[in-house]
Amino acid sequence: MSNLINRRTFMQSTTLAAAGLSMHGLSRAAGRKKMNVLFIAVDDLRPQLGCYGHKEIHTPNIDALAERGIVFNRAYCQQAVCNPSRASLLSGLRPDTTRIYNLSTHFRQYIPNAVTLPEYFKQNGYHTMGLSKIYHGGLDDPKSWSVPHWGPRANTYFSQKIRDDMQKLRDELEAMGIATSKRVLKRDPVTGTVLQRSGRRAVHGPVWEAPDVPDNNRRDGKTTDKAVELLSQQKDDPFFLAVGYIKPHLPFVAPKRYFDLYPLEDIKLADNSFYPEDVPDCALYSSLELRVYSDVVDEGPIPDEKAREVRRAYWACVSFIDAQVGRLLKSLDDNGLRDNTIVVLWGDHGWHLGENDIWGKMTNFEIATRVPMIISYPGQEKMGAKTDALTEFVDIYPTLCELCGLPIPESLEGTSMVPLMKDPQRRWKTAAFSQYPRRIDKQRMMGHSMRTDRYRYTEWRDRKSGNVLERELYDHRSNSKENVNIANIPSNAKLVERLAEKLREGWQAAKPSARAKVSKRSL
């Protein structure tokens, strides 16, 4: 019965939308019966998917979602590492506001009263549920959820031998007095929320494994099982279901059949596996997160054969997650929820697979800051559209508010993308902003990076004085792979000056409605 009502309400809203009614009208129609939200977070997912023009990557299900939604070709995370990126997206605030720049600190430590995206939906009558990795591991936010967060349990590796080898290494380290399993947790005395975690030295096995197992032998498969179960139970109430997937995060473990999609001999290596010309050291990253794995060299070049294996394993994990997304979408259909559920899919940051001679995230380069972002909503007129407009993760929070007919909280630092989704070619933001902190010896820096239509401009500033220590400038019209830093070329001095002023003006001046002092022309 309620499905019928949902469908009828949806038909009213689509009819109104088709009649060219304003967004206000859509909100009003949606407000009669709330739309659901399926919020899919994928860890470390590059925007290298079929729907982003990479036909060599097998992502038929994400591509199907794109066909009924909109693909944001130039979306950027606010900091290219899990906790800061997620804390920013979920609070709708930028890292300089959350002050979360690391992996160990909970955002409630600095902004205890922030109302997160799921929390706001909960306050507005939604049943909010979080599965697996939504906030960064171990730093869940109980206030966000109507029911306790749920996490899947499974070993990281399938093979008993790998697990035995790791235990042996752990025992050896313990015998040397190096703690490997104790976690130091600092909790909020009132809520019990873990505010900080530290103190564990992780032991790592090989970088990839391809066991011949069913999907739900792995944690992400179990998460899908749980999501499918919940979707079958929630069809009568408005819900906000956040489903987090932990692959393609390292180690790249996925069922063998996804590896079989990518014959090793077909795997190509990055064609820019070198540091950019004239790049400052602070822009680079040591690739430590890959090198800690037992089968990867500690230093020096990653041999081509290993590089090929790693890239293949990454893409196998991407296809594994794509299959999970397919099951979620099918479950929406099976439960009659497709016509009243908004779907948003995002990956928390990009990843260098050897590009710029880096393996990992944690940089301000395009390859680490550019992210996949796809949104589909019932009644969407421009289905299958793609937009090259500059967008940011902080835009997701206000967008979902508007789509669901909820007032947009004034404190948010993003812009609702609903007008852009209705007109994907319209003028939009003049820049997207990311940042990354860096410490070299005793020098503490913050790298502020800005992507304009044509350029990526980055300043590395002293954290205390704010003095600019290094600059990077990449011209995406002539060099989209950021292979040559042209900031220090004398003839670019005027351009650098204009970009520096635009970076100082910041995100407020780059909003679609803002009038920036700096001319937008050719930036």
Q: How far apart are CB 469 and Ca ion at their closest, in Å?
A: 27
Nearer to Ca ion, 289 or 339 (CB): 289
Helical axes 2-18 vs 23-32, angle rounded to 10°: 170
Does 82 bind Ca ion (CB under 5 A)? Our answer is: yes
State the minimum distance, in angstroms, from the CB of residue 317 to Ca ion: 13
The site for Ca ion, by CB under 5 A, has a size of 4
Stretch near Ca ion under the rule CB under 5 A, chosen from 43-51, 90-98, 278-286, 514-522: 43-51
- Reading phi first (left if > 0) and then psi (alpha if -120 to 50, else beta), residue 303 is in beta
Which residue, 43 or 366, has its beta carbon nearer to Ca ion?
43
Least Å distance between CB 201 and Ca ion?
A: 20
C-beta of 87 vs 115, nearer to Ca ion: 87
CA distances from 65 to 7, 245, 332, 368 (A): 20, 17, 12, 23
Question: Which stretch, 26-34, 75-83, 263-271, 293-301, contacts Ca ion (CB under 5 A)?
Answer: 75-83
Instruction: Kindly tell me which of 338 and 349 has the beta carbon lying closer to Ca ion.
Output: 349
Q: Per rule CB under 5 A, is residue 289 in the interface with Ca ion? A: no
Whether the CB-CB separation of 371 and 80 falls below 8 Å is answered with no
Minimum CB–partner distance for residue 303 and Ca ion (Å): 26
CA distance 172 to 177: 9
Pairing of strands 341-347, 36-42: parallel
Binding window for Ca ion (CB under 5 A); candidates: 321-329, 343-351, 411-419, 513-521: 343-351
Choice between 127 and 352, CB closer to Ca ion = 352
- Residue 96 in the binding site for Ca ion (CB under 5 A): no
Q: Which stretch binds Ca ion (CB under 5 A): 76-84, 109-117, 376-384, 403-411?
A: 76-84
User: 38, 44, 122, 391: which one contacts Ca ion (CB under 5 A)?
Assistant: 44
136 included as an active-site residue: yes
Interaction of residue 348 with Ca ion, rule CB under 5 A: yes
For residue 80, state whether it binds Ca ion (rule: CB under 5 A).
no
Label residues 132-165 b or e (16+ Cβ within 10 Å = b): bbbbbbbbbbebbbbeebebbebebbbeeebeeb
Q: Quick one: 311 or 422, whose CB is closer to Ca ion? A: 311
Does 43 bind Ca ion (CB under 5 A)? Our answer is yes
CA angle 414, 499, 491 (to 5 degrees): 160
CA–CA gap between residue 445 and residue 439 (Å, rounded)? 6
Q: Which of 136, 249, 352, 448 is catalytic?
A: 136
Output DSSP code: residue 81. S
Among residues 117, 139, 118, the alpha carbon closest in space to that of 188 is found at 139
- On whether the CB atoms of residues 100 and 122 are closer than 8 A, the answer is no
Catalytic site residue from 82, 282, 317, 401: 82
**Two tokens at 405?**
């007919």
Mention every residue, 6+ apart, whose C-beta is less than 8 A from residue 252: 207, 208, 209, 310, 313, 314, 316, 317
58 flagged as catalytic = no
DSSP class of 35: P
Q: How far is the CB of 370 from Ca ion (least distance, A)?
A: 14
Sketch the per residue contact string, 207 through 246, with Ca ion: x for CB under 5 A, - otherwise: ----------------------------------------
DSSP 8-class letter at 31: H
Catalytic site positions: 82, 136
Query: Where do contacts with Ca ion occur on this chain (CB under 5 A)?
Result: 43-44, 82, 348
